[in-house]
């Protein structure tokens, strides 16, 4: 928690009315100032007994925090992976110089006659993966497909284009956290 002076909070709340979806606006600040506890008389009368304290029905707060955090972190992780696949597709479709892509494919042993099929086929597959993750209700097979595809790309590039293993931007080493994130999403996906 970070203490916020009242004057600064009011100024931020005034600015919040101009930002769509702002977490703090004047109404929210008034509610925070009033507090989050009300008079228990009405609920006591309705229940016929006093309401239970939080400690009586939440035994382990940390156990409740984890699902609450995962509730917003997992979609964020999923959408970031969607963005990676779609951006990769867009770049492969021609933002990256096509001749340079063909050169990389040639260095991995792909004959010139198959290079356009491989380049645009892979870009199309990347796009389909991104769209599938974004819109399909069942994604477990897509998570597995990504694990296999990234693993395959990593091995081929490591052997055929070994300079990428030592590249300062780490294009291959970044596959490790990507694989871990995808595996996590696979494990937590509803069957």
Residues 47 and 74 in one domain: no
Do 22 and 113 fall into the same domain? no
Residues 86-98: tens digit of each pLDDT:
999 999 999 999 9
CA dihedral 164, 173, 90, 118 (to 10 degrees): 60
Confidence of residue 65 (pLDDT cuts 50, 70, 90): confident
| Cα(74)–Cα(133) distance, integer angstroms | 13
Stronger pLDDT, 51 or 101, i.e. the higher one: 101
Q: How confident is the model at residue 161 (pLDDT cuts 50, 70, 90)?
A: very high
Q: Is 96 among the domain residues?
A: yes
CA dist 168 to 89, 101, 108, Å? 23, 20, 21
Inside any domain, residue 56:
no
77 lies in the same domain as 164: yes
Q: Which pLDDT score, from 0 to 100, does residue 135 have?
A: 96
Domain assignment present for 115: yes
73 pLDDT above the threshold of 90 = yes
Measured between alpha carbons, how far is residue 101 from residues 55, 126, 174 in Å?
Answer: 60, 15, 20
Same domain, residue pair 99 and 164: yes
Tell me which DSSP letter residue 114 carries.
G
Task: List Cβ<8 Å contacts ≥24 apart for 172-175.
Answer: 175/150
Domain count, the chain: 2
Domain that holds residue 17: 6-51
Band (27; pLDDT cuts 50, 70, 90): confident
């Amino acid at each position: 928690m970070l203490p916020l002076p009242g004057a600064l909070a009011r100024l931020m709340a005034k600015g919040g009315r101009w930002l769509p979806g702002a977490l703090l606006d004047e109404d929210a600040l008034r509610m925070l100032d009033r507090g989050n506890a009300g008079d228990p008389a009405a609920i006591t009368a309705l229940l016929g007994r006093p309401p239970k304290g939080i400690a009586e029905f939440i035994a382990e707060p940390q156990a409740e925090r984890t699902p609450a955090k995962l509730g917003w972190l997992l979609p964020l992780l999923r959408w970031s992976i969607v963005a990676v696949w779609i951006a990769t597709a867009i770049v492969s479709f021609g933002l990256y110089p096509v001749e340079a892509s063909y050169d990389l494919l040639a260095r991995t042993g792909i004959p010139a006659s198959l290079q356009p099929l491989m380049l645009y086929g892979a870009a199309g597959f990347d796009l389909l993966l991104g769209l599938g993750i974004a819109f399909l209700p069942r994604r477990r097979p897509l998570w597995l497909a990504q694990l296999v595809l990234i693993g395959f790309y990593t091995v081929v590039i490591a052997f055929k284009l070994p300079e990428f293993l030592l590249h300062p931007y780490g294009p291959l080493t970044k596959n490790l956290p990507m694989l871990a994130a995808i595996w996590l999403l696979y494990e937590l996906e509803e069957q």
